[in-house]
Chains A and B, each alone.
Chain A
């Protein structure tokens, strides 16, 4: 582990560290977990804190940040639901960003990546693996509290609908964040990549105040990062049902 690098905290996410080099800007996360590295990323120490390089070629969230993503980024203390966590490459960085007081509920369906995720959770105390299908959020809804943010990287044809089902059930109210890594190649050949992205934006716009979508080329070919924050009154705990008198047709009302 090398020491003595000059990191600057990102303004909107204090645990995301920026390292300026003469030819490029690198992003690192202040780690919550223990070594060894998760996917071959670099580790370093500065001012008594351990950092891991947030590699844009391996993580779509990192690629989006490098390409100027202005949307929500996990912040310390928040709870995030991560759909499609696989072996935990990006999930471990999201866990770093929410810090030791935050939580990441990482949902994965495939057994072998999930076994690696469970092993990773031993070293990342705020990463909680859930073996489940993101298409059935009711199956794991009981295992977690409402969360501040949702990150989805599921590469399915109906990925936007899956995200909406999870967001409706599991996100807190106004201001909750949704970030979706869209893989347009998995969304069918009936439309172009641009049309798929536009459709996804239109669907998500009902729920969210969207931030500008970022195309992740050349780090991830054919991928886009879409997301924003929940609009007022579109999410949140169910309100008690108020019994109202039956509506009277307008003609009868007039007669009365």
Chain B
């Protein structure tokens, strides 16, 4: 007995007998997509043609529901009578005509579900978690700074409701600061495990922010030192950091270097940072001790150098 598959192409389901077409194909089925298709069936029973569920009851789940391009490729396989890996444009266009479509408004639930699942799956990787944490932490730090500046300029007049308000505000800011500290701890742990070399050279927080600013570890690993030095620079100068100061100016030991020498330290640190990022992105070889020694030597020489 041949295998009957149901091609879930959007909301439209179709029974296809693979044996009749004498085709043998095996596509890696994405479990999330299979689950999505199942949930979709539960969500929209009206979309299932009558009798179809009974017809497919005895067929293994993996063979039953296929979504997206793999589903189309299966349908195409049946039509052409040969396995199709990567369908050409004309073949796909032909297949789309074969598979057919449901009414235009029916595919919404399925597409939204696929979008959410795809997004969840992509954001689950440690790298994406680090980027999300780094962006959250940066946002929260800005918010805290804004609140602190506002609080410093606020005058609570005793004996008025303003004093009471000020106390409540302080409590809220303390809670926010606690939340921020917890987030920083989480971020540091995450950076330490994902980019150990870079975190050792520039510090965990800056390492996480560099990965976030570059859009990932792989893009960061491809960057030159001069490009890394520019990461985080803003078009508009902020009160704290002018436009020439990127994230690297917030790296560890920057405060120990004389102001006039910080540019030189930033250049050296960017060069070391690139080596560390490349190691983290590719081989994962531990280079931290060597790079830290070089960094510390550079800091000492800059501190001792006369103007």
Contact = CB atoms under 8 A, between A and B. Distances in A.
Interface stretch (B91-99, B170-178, B264-272): B91-99
Interface string A121-162: 110010011110000001111111110000000000000000
A114 B68 CA distance: 19
Contact of A114 (B10, B90, B114, B119): B119
B71 interface: yes
Size band of the interface chain B makes with A: 20 to 34
Secondary structure class of chain A's binding surface, majority of residues: mixed
Interface in B77-120: 86-87, 89-90, 92-94, 96-97, 99, 101, 104-105, 107-108, 111-112, 114-116, 118-119
List the 3 closest pairs (A to B, CB-CB), nearest first. A142-B72, A238-B93, A131-B118
A129 B101 contact: no
A99 interface: no
B119 A131 contact: yes
A145 B101 contact: yes
A121 B94 CA distance: 30
A79 B107 CA distance: 13
A118 B69 contact: no
A237 B114 contact: no
Interface residues of A, number: 29
A168 B89 contact: yes
Contact of A138 (B86, B94, B119): B86
Given A142-B69, A146-B96, A238-B90, A128 B119 contact: no
A169 B89 contact: yes
Given A128-B111, A138-B69, A141-B72, A111 B104 contact: no
Contacts of B87: 138
Interface string A90-119: 000000000000010100000110110010
A118 B122 CA distance: 14
B14 interface: no
A140 B114 CA distance: 11
Interface of B: 9-10, 68-69, 71-72, 86-87, 89-90, 92-94, 96-97, 99, 101, 104-105, 107-108, 111-112, 114-116, 118-119, 122-123, 128, 135
Given A115-B119, A169-B89, A128 B94 contact: no
Contacts of A169: 89, 92-93
Given A111-B119, A118-B116, A129 B111 contact: yes
A207 to B, nearest CB: 14
Contacts of B92: 138, 141, 169
A9 B82 CA distance: 53
Contacts of B90: 238
A237 B104 contact: no
Given A79-B104, A143-B111, 17 more contacts: A111-B119, A115-B119, A121-B115, A128-B111, A128-B112, A129-B112, A138-B92, A141-B72, A141-B96, A142-B9, A142-B68, A142-B71, A142-B72, A145-B10, A168-B89, A237-B96, A238-B97
A58 to B, nearest CB: 18
